[in-house]
Amino acid sequence: MNYYIKADQFLLENEENTADYLCVENGRFGTFVETVPPDAKVMDWSGFTIAPGLFDTHIHGLKGSDVMDGDPDGIQAMSEVLLSLGVTRFLPTTLTSDKEALDRALISVVEAVEKGLSGAQSEGIFLEGPYFTEKHKGAQNPDYFRDPSRQEFDHWQELAGNMIVKIALAPERAGSEEFIRYVSSTGVLASIAHTDASHDCCILAVDAGARNYVHLFNGMSGLHHREPGVAGAALTDKRAFAELICDGYHVHPDIAKLALHVKDDKLVLITDCMQAGLMPDGDYHLGEFPVVMQGGVARTETGSLAGSTLKLIDGVKNLHVWSDKSLAEVWHRGSLSPAVSLGRDADLGSIKAGKLADYVVLNKDLEVQTTAVAGEIKYEKEG
């Protein structure tokens, strides 16, 4: 369906357009025009803002579903719910577990995608683990930690039909540099996570091809003026992206503001959301771990943060309030930066001619009214 969009403003990469009509042709954004043909179909969202669809590259679960359940219906449910949150693309994310559980999780994502997701679309799978170290394990199970294995990864990639596009590991583990070189050569985004590596070890990992740090400041050695650690390497190395969870619990607002200032367009907003997202306080699981959520904060029995219950759009709103950056700039940290990190920015991440027409209609309170995927309206808020 071809049509035009009229709105009060459009959040573009480097500006805000407030006057013209935006053409949508064959599921992709066209150009802005001042007038439209008399018989043209116009989506008139006067009074609203049009923003690019958000892209959550790190999400374990939502509203009772968990990727590690190994249930294709759970992936479908996540896909549908994400639309109401302004997310049009996501990476179903695994946890460290035994081989059988990881096999099931990968197969379930493949089955769901092959059947066809009705909501937000999966752009691949994020394999978080199992190649971590114990000191900063977070909610990852150390019983399954081990050195990276190319053979094991190849098995999982074959099982996933080459859908694994991102993998996280601790670079101090034996064989990590060689492993990073290998997966990077296949187009997979090698990421650094749950690690006590030194600054120099991280730089060597980036030299080998790692280009992302997972949930900055969490699951990693902190910043010290004589040993910058993983956090210091993530902040100072301009070659690498860094993920950030902007819920106010994982990272202090002033540190989030600092990260945005330093990393700029290499900052990727994520949720790390688990199954308790959009659910009431109570008892849940993150993989094999029992989790208690109180006041919207999920923790393991030992008190460690267990993922988050954050909505990505709330992370955008939080960082916009905490920083001195425009809404458009901060919004693109949740849409364009994720796409760039995965090499998908030719099609995704911003409102630009030729890209897939993923967009969100926002009211003045930045609440999602409508969400479209590849030009097709998939969600409309009731009332």
Q: Which residue shows structure tokens 């009772």?
A: 64
Q: Residue 152: exposed, middle, or buried by beta-carbon count in 10 A (0-12, 13-18, 19+)? A: middle
Nearest by Cα to 29 from 349, 345, 351: 351
Angle at 55 between CA 383 and CA 51, to 5 degrees: 50
For residues 184 and 161, what is the distance between their CA atoms, to the nearest angstrom? 17
Angle at 100 between CA 99 and CA 101, to 5 degrees: 95
Secondary structure class of 293 (helix, strand, coil): strand
Buried b (16+ CB within 10 A) or exposed e, 306-340: bbbbbbbbbbbbbbbebbebebbbbbbbbbbbbbb
| Cβ-contact 68, 101 below 8 angstroms | yes
For residues 180 and 167, what is the distance between their CA atoms, to the nearest angstrom? 9
Pinpoint the alpha helices (H) of the chain.
72-83, 99-115, 150-159, 176-185, 199-208, 229-236, 253-263, 312-322, 327-332, 336-341
User: Can you say how many angstroms the Cα of residue 279 is from the centroid of all Cα atoms in its chain?
Assistant: 20
- DSSP code per residue over 13-75: SS-EE-SSEEEEETTEEEEEES---TT--EEEEEEEEEEEPEEEEEE-EETTEEGGG--HHHH
To the query of whether residue 358 is one of the catalytic residues in this protein, the response is no
| Cβ-contact 139, 305 below 8 angstroms | yes
Q: Which of 66, 69, 272, 358 is catalytic?
A: 272
| Cβ-contact 180, 219 below 8 angstroms | no
Nearest by Cα to 124 from 146, 101, 157: 157
For residues 197 and 195, what is the distance between their CA atoms, to the nearest angstrom? 5
Q: How many CA atoms lie within 13 A of 206 on its CB side?
A: 21
Catalytic positions, written as ranges = 272
